[in-house]
Amino acid sequence: MTDWYLVYDLEPLPGSWNMAVDEYLFRLAKESQSNFLRFYTWLRPTASLGCNQDISKVLNLEECGRRGVDVVRRMTGGKLVLHHFEVTYSLSSSRSDIFTSTLEGSYRRISEALVRGLVLMGLPATLASTTPSGYARSHYPCFAYPARNEVEIRGKKVIGSAQKRKGPAFVQHGSIPLIKEVELLAAIAYGLDPSRQEGMTSLSDELGRKIDFQEAVAFLLEGFKQYFQCEPQAWAFSSTELEIIKRIKMNKYENWQWTGNRVEPAEV
């Protein structure tokens, strides 16, 4: 019997639904000894905030409205990310024997699996060794700089990830751009230094050709399989589970008290 499951969402989904699914998988991970690996993408351009960020300091809401950019707040930490043409992964587990009992240890193991997938893709991916001075306390968007144990290619950050833990249970999710949307990010985000825009990249830029969602997921999934020596089985949500996810979406991720004001709603 497997302890690895795969949730593979082929169709782009709204940001509020994506965040609600990841939160539900985190809850499942707290209750079980299973690992839930998910790949998904976004229906519309969506800015996601880290759980502790002050929206007024990092995001131009008026410009988001003009440009049709949705806004969500993640349950994880980290910095502002613009999601659109990308692969997003999430991994939820409470298995300390696989992922270690620390945020840093689990983060590094997941990053190493992602590196394996990018290397299979033909890219010279590595882990960043240090975090730039002042970056952690800045209001820069997530992809402005690579931080320690984040995945980079030729010194450019190519995957931005964030994690939430509760005891041994965690959820980690991350953004892997297929193409760059620097102009849109610069328009909606406060504090993006123009000099850093040249340092941003994507899978298509690094490969020198276009790569689509399904092709990229195939390599990344194989990287996880090889690194963790696993064969995830497809996971399908029951009708009861889908109703729970809908309630999480409505109660939290479509609630401005959470998105704008960081007020955590009662769990549903």
Residue 267 lies in a domain: no
Q: What CATH number is given to the structural domain containing 56?
A: 3.30.930.10
Question: Given this model, what pLDDT does residue 241 score?
Answer: 98
> Could you read off the pLDDT of 186-216 as tens digits, one per residue?
999 997 766 666 678 999 999 999 999 999 9
Residue 265 lies in a domain: no
Residue 266 lies in a domain: no
Distance of CA 92 to the CA centre of its chain: 12
The residue ranges of the chain whose pLDDT is under 70 are 1, 130-147, 193-198
Catalytic residue positions?
A: 142
Question: Given this model, what pLDDT does residue 135 score?
Answer: 46
For the chain, what is the domain count? 1
Question: Given this model, what pLDDT does residue 145 score?
Answer: 53
> Could you read off the pLDDT of 156-181 as tens digits, one per residue?
999 999 999 999 999 999 999 999 99
Residue 14 lies in a domain: yes
Enclosing domain of residue 167: 4-259
